[in-house]
């Protein structure tokens, strides 16, 4: 339990140059914590609502002054000089907002308060943030997550023209997190050299991956294989993952792939395509292979591929226990992406992870495309012993800082 003395908030810029909110919580005994809230580009319709100003004369309507005002006025008035645990604070914020999707106060305002309170409590207890998270969640042992490095960007994250949003390296065959980062760094450098040698642009997408205008989606996977081999590794050491973000090209009951000359695919066609990709390439994970409400399709995909690879729900489940429960009931997936800003509080995020792990599924912590330098998700992944994490490539500071924090935690746990 801790007593909140004051809350402050300000506007900062995320990695895309758009406004976002940063909140500082100060406790009665002087400890304080600061947290900033990221923003997604390919957001699911079922996510908690990020409050924006919609004043087109400023920041293209993306300002967060309304969210800031909610933190420093209504929320502060409601919580100031009162004692809370993480759970009681988060539920008080949910009740104060009064909507199902946090649209009145804004999930960004609420999450900023929730996460900054967590940091302040960890500071007051003189423990690392992952220890604080693990304590309130009942974690009995800490495990470093398996990193997924997004090294070729498509979809809404880049102008490459590729339909698949993320082409990821998954370095599994290494003994430490640090060694996995080192392998990823070497492969990315090799990939850049190989792309440049063929005349492709190596500009970076939102998440730090390259955005070459390749002829077809499969060429992104082939490029990764060549880079793995060129860096001196094998596909038993480094596998592949993809985030398709299929909702972004789902229209009127069909999947329209622009990289296939506007070819329209049914759900069955998409699943058959994934089966062929898994046969051709060492893919061990497919995220959001179908649209966010294509429940029957996900169930069929998991039935056909779930015994071989990880089928990840993101837009399908949006870190929401109600939708995760539906996924459990329908056997729709076997792994859940976890993004705190999809749901809006730390407590609900923990509940989503616990439900996922209780089912025996993998919890996969994720950043957003519009990131900040905040490393909260690194401590979250360790504190909840989540199996996987993705924070982008190893080329941009707002991504690298998460991996740096995980290496720091690995060293602390080793000590």
**Domain-located, residue 137:** no
Query: How many Å from the N-terminal Cα to the C-terminal Cα in the chain?
Result: 29
**Domain-located, residue 133:** no
**Domain-located, residue 135:** no
- Count of CB atoms situated within 10 Å of the CB of 141: 7
- Same domain, yes or no: 74 and 163: no
pLDDT digits 0-9 by tens, 267-326: 999 999 999 999 999 999 999 999 999 999 999 999 999 999 999 999 999 999 999 999
| Cα–Cα distance, 260 to 206 (Å, whole number) | 23
- Same domain, yes or no: 59 and 176: no
- Same domain, yes or no: 90 and 238: no
- Same domain, yes or no: 164 and 114: no
Judged against a pLDDT cut of 80, whether residue 44 lies above it is answered with: no
Boundary of a domain, candidates 65, 92, 126? 126
**Domain-located, residue 241:** yes
Judged against a pLDDT cut of 80, whether residue 332 lies above it is answered with: yes
pLDDT digits 0-9 by tens, 354-394: 999 999 999 999 999 899 999 999 999 999 999 999 999 99
- Same domain, yes or no: 102 and 179: no
CATH code of the domain containing 47: 3.30.390.10
Residues with a known catalytic role: 207, 339
Range of the domain at 180: 146-414
33 pLDDT band, cuts 50/70/90, is: very high
Among 107-116, 149-158, 297-306, the range scoring the smallest mean pLDDT is 149-158
**Domain-located, residue 354:** yes
pLDDT score recorded for residue 45: 83
- Same domain, yes or no: 190 and 101: no
Name the one residue in this structure whose structure tokens are 């604080």: 132
18 pLDDT band, cuts 50/70/90, is: very high
- Same domain, yes or no: 233 and 370: yes
Average pLDDT in the 224-234 region?
Answer: 98
CATH code of the domain containing 265: 3.20.20.120
Which are the contacts of 259, defined by CB distance < 8 A and separation ≥ 6?
A: 161, 162, 163, 216, 217
Judged against a pLDDT cut of 60, whether residue 36 lies above it is answered with: yes
- Same domain, yes or no: 118 and 231: no
| Cα–Cα distance, 415 to 143 (Å, whole number) | 14
Which are the contacts of 62, defined by CB distance < 8 A and separation ≥ 6?
A: 18, 19, 52, 53
161 pLDDT band, cuts 50/70/90, is: confident
pLDDT score recorded for residue 261: 57
pLDDT score recorded for residue 325: 98
pLDDT score recorded for residue 263: 82
Boundary of a domain, candidates 59, 93, 126? 126
pLDDT score recorded for residue 129: 98
Say what percent of the chain tops pLDDT 90: 90
Judged against a pLDDT cut of 90, whether residue 43 lies above it is answered with: no
Judged against a pLDDT cut of 80, whether residue 62 lies above it is answered with: yes
pLDDT digits 0-9 by tens, 238-266: 999 999 999 999 998 999 987 655 689 99
User: Total domain count for the chain?
Assistant: 2
Boundary of a domain, candidates 61, 93, 126? 126
210 pLDDT band, cuts 50/70/90, is: very high
Tell me phi and psi for residue 245, to 5 degrees: 55, 50
Average pLDDT in the 125-145 region?
Answer: 97
Find the Cα–Cα–Cα–Cα dihedral 246, 202, 225, 42, rounded to 10°. -20
**Domain-located, residue 122:** yes
- Same domain, yes or no: 162 and 57: no
Assigned token pair, 148: 């997924």
Greater model confidence, 57 or 195: 195
**Domain-located, residue 140:** no
Among 47-56, 87-96, 105-114, the range scoring the smallest mean pLDDT is 47-56
- Same domain, yes or no: 175 and 108: no
Average pLDDT in the 199-227 region?
Answer: 93
pLDDT score recorded for residue 258: 79
Spatial CA neighbour of 113 closest among 10, 3, 24, 11 = 24
pLDDT score recorded for residue 215: 87
For the chain, the average pLDDT equals 95
Average pLDDT in the 32-44 region?
Answer: 86
- Same domain, yes or no: 104 and 154: no
**Domain-located, residue 382:** yes
């Amino acid at each position: 339990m801790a007593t909140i003395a004051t809350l402050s908030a300000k506007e900062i810029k995320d990695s895309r140059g758009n406004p976002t909110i940063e909140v500082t919580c100060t406790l009665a005994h002087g400890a304080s914590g600061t947290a900033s809230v990221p923003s997604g580009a390919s957001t699911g319709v079922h996510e908690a609502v990020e409050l924006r100003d919609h004043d087109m004369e400023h920041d293209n309507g993306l300002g967060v002054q309304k969210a800031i005002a909610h933190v420093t006025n209504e929320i502060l008035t409601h919580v100031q000089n009162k004692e809370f645990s993480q759970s009681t604070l988060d539920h008080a914020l949910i009740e104060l907002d009064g909507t199902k999707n946090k649209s009145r106060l804004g999930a960004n305002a609420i999450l900023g308060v929730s996460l900054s309170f967590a940091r302040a409590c960890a500071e007051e207890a003189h423990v690392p943030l992952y220890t604080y998270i693990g304590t309130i969640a009942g974690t009995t042992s800490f495990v470093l997550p398996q990193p997924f490095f997004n090294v070729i960007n498509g979809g809404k994250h880049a102008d490459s023209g590729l339909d698949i949003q993320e082409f990821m390296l998954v370095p599994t065959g290494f003994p430490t997190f640090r060694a996995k980062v080192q392998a990823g760094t070497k492969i990315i450098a090799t990939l850049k050299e190989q792309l440049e040698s063929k005349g492709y642009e190596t500009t970076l997408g939102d998440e730090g991956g390259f955005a070459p205008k390749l002829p077809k989606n499969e060429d992104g996977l082939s490029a990764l294989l060549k880079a793995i081999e060129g860096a001196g590794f094998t596909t038993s050491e480094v596998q592949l993952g993809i985030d398709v973000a299929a909702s972004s090209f789902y229209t009127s009951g069909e999947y329209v792939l622009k990289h296939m000359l506007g070819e329209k695919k049914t759900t069955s066609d998409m699943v058959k395509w994934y089966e062929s990709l898994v046969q051709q390439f060492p893919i061990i994970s497919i995220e959001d292979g179908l649209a966010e409400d294509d429940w029957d399709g996900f169930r069929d995909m998991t039935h056909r591929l779930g015994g071989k690879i990880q089928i990840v729900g993101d837009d399908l489940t949006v870190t929401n226990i109600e939708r995760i429960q539906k996924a459990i009931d329908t056997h729709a997936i076997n792994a859940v992406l976890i993004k705190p800003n999809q749901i809006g509080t730390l407590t609900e995020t923990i509940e989503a992870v616990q439900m996922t792990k209780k089912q025996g599924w993998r919890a996969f912590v994720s950043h957003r495309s519009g990131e900040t330098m905040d490393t909260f998700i690194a401590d979250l992944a360790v504190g909840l012993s989540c199996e996987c994490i993705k924070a982008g490539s190893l080329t941009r500071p707002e991504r690298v800082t998460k991996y740096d924090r995980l290496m720091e935690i690995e060293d602390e746990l080793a000590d």
